[in-house]
Amino acid sequence: MIEEGTARVPRAAPAGAWRLAGVVVLLLAVAPIVHRYLVAYPQDQWQVDLEVYREAGRSLLLGRPVYAFETEVPQLLPFTYPTFSALLSVPLALLPWGAAGWVWTALQLALLWLVVGLAFRPLLERAGARAGLLHGVVAALCVWISPVGENIRFGQVNVVLVSLCLLDLVRGREGVRIGRWTLRWPRGALVGVAVAVKLTPGVFLVHFAITRQWRELRNAVAAAAGVTVATFLVAPEASLEFWTSALLNSDRLGPNAGSSNQSLRGFVLRLYLSEGATTLVWGLLAALAAVAGFALARALHRRGSLVGEVAACGMVAVLVSPVSWLHHLLWGVVVLGALVGDGRSRRRLVVGAAGLLLLWVAWPWWGANLLASRSVPTVLARAVQNGDLWWALLSLLAMWWLLVRHAESRSRAVTDASLSV
């Protein structure tokens, strides 16, 4: 019975209900992508990169050469990664092939949820109890960017690398709460594990040295060396072959001059210069990108922008690596989180939204199609073909402008205003 003069106050939905709603939003958003790449896709192109990892795990179990084996026709893809990755792939080898693709896709989506939660944490915290729903909306927007789709399409591991590095730098000091327990690790160790999985996160070791984060550098090197040595003890022949042969053969990675290689080296290779000129130009461009990117990461580290720090290092990895496939741009999710911040700045929201929209377009594939058309100037088609490379370069500029220069200008303005009072 409700007494006269009183009103029933609706009870707010618990945070768990909003989180469940966010998960549903993400699943609905990703459903067409999953249907395309896991249900309707041709079997001879199904999860081709995941097959490479899984076959490497099977090679260890069967005792066959890890780096000599190639996947079946028509792909004929060799395993090109550190032997530790092959060791981690053994559980995939124990699963039926069809189940492995679905399990790996589910893991990718779970880790994307984690990456979005860490990268957009200041924005999500403003939503209060409804943070779970906003979390799902942001993840749903990010799942449609080209790099995320490419990772799902091929069954790639980039979301694992991004998760390890982001979790390490953003939560390395406070750890992760799991029920009543708090999981902690030596800050830098997860970066070391990522380096042992795939060498490109090694840019974080350089960043640790530049910013004099000696403890993090020590932990990262110790973790990378520890798991690498342990892997050598388990699989000595494969480990020796990787470090003495497979690592030095970039041709194992596929056509480096193709549209899908969006590193600076891929851009230079598509200029079709002489071999000596290609090496020189790439070296100069890579050096400039590394100097600018590491300087930005250092400035963001000093300002306490942990997400921006990770984003800048991730973009350096994309730019200076000899080969950066389209799916490597998954670091762009972290960039978007750094740009948006807590969502209070309209300028940062606009730039973040523009960055999101640009990543929705598969520029390299579009450019490759334009190259096949005689009605489109080659220069324009080439510019479109390198679209993800331009995005990576512009992301560094945008982070410098919004997170460093503009922030410093606002800080000086506040200081001047306080002094004039």
The DSSP-derived string for 115-138 is HHHHHTHHHHHTTGGGHHHHHHHH
Residues 6+ apart with CB under 8 A from 35: none
CA 180 to each of CA 19, 183, 192, 207: distance values in angstroms, whole numbers, following the listed order:
19, 10, 27, 34
Residue 109 is encoded by which pair of tokens? 């989506």
- pLDDT for the residue 178: 74
222, 364: one domain: no
Based on the fold, state whether residues 194 and 335 are members of the same structural domain: no
Cβ-contact 199, 323 below 8 angstroms:
no
Task: Kindly state whether residue 233 falls inside one of the protein's structural domains.
Answer: yes
Rounded to whole angstroms, how far apart are CA atoms 68 and 64? 8
87 contacts 141 by C-beta, under 8 angstroms: no
- State whether 347 and 384 are in the same domain: yes
Maximal C-alpha separation, the chain: 89
Listed as ranges, residues in the chain with pLDDT below 70 are 1-13, 250-254, 408-421
Closest C-alpha to 176, from 224, 121, 133, 225: 121
Identify residue 380 by its one-letter amino acid code. L
Q: Is residue 94 part of a domain?
A: yes
H helices within 13-96, ranges in order? 15-34, 48-62, 83-88, 90-93
Q: Kindly provide the b/e burial profile for residues 56-73, where b requires at least 16 CB atoms within 10 angstroms of the residue's own CB.
A: bbbbbeeeeebbebebee
Last residue of a domain, one of 191, 221, 242: 242
1 part of a folded domain:
no
> pTM to 2 decimals?
0.92
Q: Are 235 and 259 in a shared domain?
A: no
What distance in Å separates the CA atoms of residue 269 and residue 281, rounded to the nearest whole number? Answer: 10
Closest CA to 340 of 329, 327, 356, 324: 356
Task: For residue 217, give the nearest of 243, 196, 186 by alpha carbon.
Answer: 186
- The total domain count for the chain is 2
List b or e across 244-272, with b for residues whose CB sees 16 or more CB atoms inside 10 angstroms. Answer: eebeeeeeeeeebeebbbbbbbbbbbbee
DSSP lists the bridge partners of residue 277 as: none
Residues 164 and 294 in one domain: no
281 domain-assigned: yes
User: Are 233 and 265 members of one domain?
Assistant: no
Instruction: Give residue 34's identity as a one-letter amino acid code.
Output: V
Q: 296 in a domain, yes or no?
A: yes
Q: Can you read off the two tokens belonging to residue 363?
A: 């520029």
Helix (H) or strand (E) holding 151: helix 146-154
Instruction: Return the pLDDT at 417.
Output: 44
The C-alpha atoms of residue 28 and residue 241 are separated, in whole angstroms, by 44
**Looking at the DSSP assignment, which residues form a beta bridge with residue 178?**
181
- Pair 405, 291 in one domain: yes
5 part of a folded domain: no
* CA 209 vs CA 47, 204, 217, 326: distances in Å: 37, 9, 7, 28
- Are residues 137 and 258 both part of a single domain? no
Residue 335 shares a structural domain with residue 258: yes
**Quick one: 83 and 228 in the same domain?**
yes
pLDDT of residue 172: 75
Q: How far apart are CA 327 and CA 156, in angstroms?
A: 8
- Cα–Cα distance for residue pair 386/141, rounded to 1 Å: 23
Residues 259 and 164 in one domain: no
- The CA distance from 410 to 210, in Å, is 27
The residues, any chain, with a CB within 8 Å of residue 393's CB and separated by 6 or more, are: 289, 319
The neighbouring-strand residues paired with 182 are 177
* pLDDT tens-digit series, residues 167-204: 999 987 787 777 778 888 999 999 999 999 999 999 99
- Residue pair 405/347 in contact by the 8 Å Cβ criterion: no
Contact in structure between 242 and 264 (CB atoms under 8 Å): no
| Adjacent-strand bridge partners of 14 | none
Q: Is the residue at 266 inside a domain?
A: yes
Question: Between 378-385 and 363-371, two packed helices, what is the crossing angle to 10 degrees?
Answer: 160
- Coil, helix or strand at residue 211: coil
Alpha helices in 235-377 (DSSP H): 236-244, 264-269, 275-302, 306-320, 332-340, 346-359, 363-371
Degrees to nearest 5, angle at CA 318 with 316 and 319: 65
Per-residue confidence (pLDDT) for residue 10, from 0 to 100: 52
Structural domain includes residue 83: yes
Co-location of 328 and 367 in the same domain: yes
Provide the domain limits for residue 178.
Answer: 15-199+213-242
